[in-house]
Structure formats: structure tokens, C-alpha cells
């Protein structure tokens, strides 16, 4: 498995470019900004991007979706409960003082239990609401990409539209049953492991009561 992290935009989003090393089939997860930098990685590694997957629809995670789709013709995928937030990303960005473009309509609406397959790799879709209604995580092998559901030592905010602290607690508990060696690749900040988050996350005690 090929994984490259490109930290993009003023809110420092972790955009992940993931590929099957044999077939070069790839997906781009959360292309929030700086499409030229993302495309540079794709071109240098001769990757064939099949999907653009949004872990959720907040503007800092979807700002470059249109540019990447135009360049790669990849299919845009997000959870069906995230459409409202995704479609409002341009307006939300403007409220925060940022410029953004309208995003292309999604090509795939994901549900819990679906799989996103690139070459010989298959990522299970976990619906993990709480930070947003249609937040998802992508799990395969020994990695899980958690968007803004789970960070190293913390979790996503729940004070935005559609946030729900009780649902976030349920999502947190779901992730904590993964093997402790599973590497956590969050939407912002450094990587971690499930084992570390069980013991060190500031919300672990509260959420696992």
C-alpha cells in the first residue's frame, strides 16, 4: 500500500493519497485545498485515481474536490447523510473568511458497511457521526483514516451544524474495538494508534463509561 500525506490549506487538513502499489489504482481522501500539490504527488507516482472520498463535507476537507475531479475524472464519494453540509461548503467557507468554489455533485453516496476498492485494496466504510451527520472512517488492514471523528489525543468538535456529542461517543467506542496496533490517520494533526487512544485520549474515560 502506498500512502502519502499532503497537509493542505489554512486549517492544515491531512489529505491522504492512497494507492495499490501494484496496479497504481488510487483514491484521494479529503482534498481540502492546494490541488496542485496533490496532483504533483499523483503525477510523480503515475497513479490512476479512481475515487475522491470525503470523510465529511466541511469546506476545509472538500475545497479541492472539483479541481481533482477535473484533472483525474475520478468519482466523488461521500456518505448520503452529508449532502447538506457538502453542498453548503462554499457558503460556510465564506462565513469563515475563505474563498471556495461550488463542489461537483457526488457520484457515489456511501453507507455504513460499503467498501471502496482500489486495485487489490478494499476499505470498509464506517459511518461515524458526531462531528457531522455523515462522517465516515475508512478501514483496511492496519490503518484507519478517521477524518474529524478521532484525532491523536482528542476528537472532533460537535458545535457545528449536525454535531452530536452522544453520537460522537458511540463512534469513538466503535473505533476502540479495532486492534490496538491499528494506525490512526486523522483529518488533522499527527498519527496515532488505537491502543494509544484507548489510554491517552482525553475523551476516552468519558466516552467509554
Here the CATH number for the domain that contains residue 203 is 3.60.15.10
Domain span holding position 147: 2-207
The DSSP letter of residue 82 is G
The DSSP letter of residue 188 is B
Beta bridge partners of 145: 138, 185
Q: Among 139, 143, 206, 138, which Cα is nearest to 172's?
A: 206
Backbone angles phi, psi at 186, to 5 degrees: -85, 170
pLDDT in tens, 133-181: 999 999 999 999 999 999 999 999 999 999 999 999 999 999 999 999 9
Please provide the distance, in angstroms rounded to a whole number, between the alpha carbons at the two ends of the chain. Answer: 36
Beta strands in the chain (DSSP E): 2-8, 13-19, 25-29, 48-53, 75-79, 108-110, 115-118, 121-127, 136-140, 143-147, 150-151, 154-155, 183-186, 192-193
Q: Total domain count for the chain?
A: 1
CA distance 166 to 183: 24
CA distance 111 to 113: 6
pLDDT in tens, 10-19: 999 999 999 9
Cα 148–82–106 angle (5° rounding)?
A: 110
Predicted local distance difference test score (pLDDT) of residue 209: 67
pLDDT in tens, 104-136: 999 999 999 999 999 999 999 999 999 999 999
Amino acid at each position: 500500500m502506498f500512502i502519502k500525506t499532503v497537509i493542505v490549506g489554512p486549517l492544515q487538513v491531512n489529505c491522504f493519497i492512497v494507492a495499490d502499489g501494484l496496479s497504481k489504482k488510487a483514491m484521494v481522501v479529503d482534498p481540502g485545498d492546494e490541488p496542485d500539490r496533490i496532483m504533483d504527488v499523483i503525477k510523480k507516482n503515475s497513479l490512476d485515481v479512481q475515487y475522491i472520498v470525503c470523510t465529511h463535507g466541511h469546506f476545509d476537507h472538500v475545497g479541492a474536490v472539483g479541481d481533482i475531479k477535473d484533472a483525474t475524472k475520478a468519482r466523488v464519494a461521500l456518505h448520503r447523510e452529508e449532502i447538506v453540509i457538502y453542498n453548503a461548503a462554499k457558503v460556510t467557507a465564506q462565513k469563515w473568511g475563505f474563498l471556495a468554489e461550488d463542489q461537483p455533485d457526488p457520484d457515489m453516496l456511501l453507507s455504513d458497511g460499503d467498501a471502496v476498492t482500489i486495485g487489490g485494496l478494499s476499505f470498509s466504510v464506517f459511518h461515524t457521526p458526531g462531528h457531522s451527520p455523515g462522517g465516515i472512517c475508512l478501514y483496511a488492514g492496519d490503518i484507519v483514516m478517521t477524518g474529524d471523528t478521532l484525532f491523536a489525543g482528542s476528537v472532533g468538535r460537535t458545535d457545528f451544524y449536525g454535531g452530536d456529542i452522544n453520537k460522537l461517543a458511540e463512534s469513538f467506542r466503535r473505533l476502540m474495538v479495532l486492534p490496538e496496533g491499528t494506525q490512526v490517520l486523522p483529518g488533522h494533526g499527527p498519527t496515532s494508534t488505537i491502543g494509544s487512544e484507548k489510554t491517552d485520549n482525553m475523551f476516552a474515560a468519558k466516552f467509554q463509561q
